Structure 1
Amino acid sequence: MSAPLQAAAALARREWVSQLRQPAEWLTPLAFVVSVVALFPIGLGPEPARLRELAPGLLWIVALLASLLPLPRLFAADLADGSLEQWWLSPLPRPLAVGLKLAVHWGWTGLPLVLLAPLLALAFGVDDAGPLALSLLLGTPALTLLGGLGAALVLHARAGAGLLALLLLPLQVPVLVFGTAAAQGGSQADTALLLLGAWLTLLLALAPWGTAASLSLMLD
């Protein structure tokens, strides 16, 4: 096995074990989603038709807000223990190292939300959760990529969490709009899914490089 592949395997294994040892990092967003979704029927009333109509937008807003919760600590621990410098000294290209970390992060935070989508939809009386799950499958990686870029930019900021939210929310609006439209189903769903997929493709092409460049500036 070549040196870059060994470095990639070691980084992916380290990140996976690190997430496994810190369950609060991925359980907190899920608990937030479940808690808020449970409160919506109480606050909005028990009318099934109204809940079904509001479900796509409400669930997507909750998913977006939940994605912000673990971001202030995304790179902070790696910076504190020196792991970030080790990435830069390894034979693995920096954007690929960032991409692997974000992929593992999504696997622990975004993917469970996708798998939980049928139960979340059931709480709103939505029988067909397919459009919602598919929109989250395309949209949550986009939120993770944007979140990684934002977390890198505010890594040394004192008010990191508040600044991060202000920085990311305007960039996340397209994901929210396309994701909500796709989750609603109907004639516009296919177009919304294509646009969401195009936005995700653009972020896959650019975000790891931008995040790596931002982290390099922070380390200099």
Structure 2
Amino acid sequence: MTAWQIAMPAGQPGTAVWHVDLAAIRLTPARARWLSTDEQARAARFLRPQDRDRFVHSHLALRRILSGYLGRDPGDLCFDPAENGKPELGGPDRDRLRFNLSHSGSHALVAIADGTAIGVDVEVARPLGDVMAIARAHFHSGEITTLAGRSAAERPMAFLACWTRKEAVVKALGTGLSLPLDSFEVTLPPGPATIRSWARGASPCHDWSLHHLDLGAEAVGAVAIARGGESCALYRLPSDGETL
């Protein structure tokens, strides 16, 4: 095991999400060499240092986590864009695992699945303005009605929960903006996360698992798995000097 790799938890399920504190990651010269030429070029295009750091640290974390599953050096991993643009493992690791990455503020989530599509989304709690106006522009009518029934104090976090659940589904599908967010309905807290309905022809997969991720008071997260009845463990990525 090379420096800064992780040992996988015993008895891990087929799917898992890793919660990463990006502020706890240190960029060292050795870790910088993990990044591909493409990743380095993408990082250099960010104008704001905090955006560049968020990109670099989240990709270092992604490589660290994947290397633990695959038993390979983080710098040896390569990624290819799929036809829909969603990155996937390339080279000798092609088709071994599916993954997805999301970050917001100092929080990042890395989702891992074996043999099925997976999507994850995280949003940091922050002032949002008129969430009902945003919901009416993007959400399913059932979600709008449910959100309107929440108190003013509950509404912002309920909105973020709905948003992350929908984004996780879209990211799992890899359809991007081609799938309207109002073409399917998800539940809102406090009930369990589920997909309640799809518009005709909207989903190529009939069985889905959707999970709310408890990230504390600062952020909201969700993971969508294109396989019914799938459990998902939530782990915290150890920071420098920590062990699992």
TM-score range normalised by the length of the shorter chain: 0.3 to 0.5
Give the TM-score, by structure 1 length.
0.32
Name the structure where helix makes up a greater proportion of residues: 1
Name the structure where strand makes up a greater proportion of residues: 2
Give the TM-score, by structure 2 length.
0.30
